[in-house]
Amino acid sequence: MTPSRTHQQPAAVSVFTQRFSSTPRGARLARHLALHRLDSWGIAYGTEASDTIAVLVAELAANAVTHGRVPGRDFELRLVHTPGTLTVEVSDTRDDRRPPGPEEITAPEPGSESGQGLVLVAALADRWAVLDRVPVGKTVRAELDLPGRSPRVGLGAPAGCVAPDDAGVAVRATGQGDRRRSRTTGPA
């Protein structure tokens, strides 16, 4: 008896990769080009997914420019769109200043002028991680599950993390990087 074969359609994958100068102008251009690319992939300007990805790209690019800058070296933005998921990766060439990962992130001190970027990434992304970049540097990857599509199992994140924002959206990690968004009427 021979086993029956089932044929699966290959998943459509769209990829955008671009290097930018490690300057504030490069970070701003990365966000603008990311939004343009998302629109061409059918994720329209002004949608919740587009706005969330814009913030993720802006924060990760700003971190690469501020904390990962090596004179004469660029940072790289990579977007990967698969059915149900959009992955944002920002890589830089600096090895000695590795940001904390999802398990190590802590809220900044009240009134602090820095330290909110990765807390925001943790609140908005469904999964995120800090990865080694070969041959040199690091990559911060954030994944966003797109509405109406089946999400993938991906990167890990700490369970129990709650981060409300000014709009009253609380994001709770329920384990293994699975984050759920919900409207709240008060503090989470």
For residue 35, how many other CB atoms are within 10 A of its CB?
A: 19
Beta bridge partners of 82: 85
Work out the percent of the chain whose per-residue pLDDT is above 70.
Answer: 72
pLDDT tens, position by position, 7-40: 666 667 999 999 999 999 999 999 999 999 999 9
Range of lowest pLDDT (26-35, 66-75, 108-117) = 108-117
Q: Which domains does the chain have, with CATH numbers?
A: 14-103+116-148 (3.30.565.10)
pLDDT the model gives residue 169: 35
pTM for the whole structure: 0.71
Tokens standing for 23?
């300057």
Q: How confident is the model at residue 108 (pLDDT cuts 50, 70, 90)?
A: confident
Burial class (CB in 10 A: 0-12, 13-18, 19+), 16: middle
Q: At what angle do helices 48-67 and 117-124 cross, to 10 degrees?
A: 150
Q: Prior bond to 187 cis, omega within 30?
A: no
Contact partners, residue 23, CB within 8 Å, separation at least 6: 65
Q: Give the position of tokens 């993720």.
A: 56
C-alpha pair distances (Å), 63 with each of 22, 32, 83, 99: 10, 16, 28, 9
Residue bearing the bigger pLDDT, 45 or 180 = 45
Distance CA 38, CA 35 (A): 5
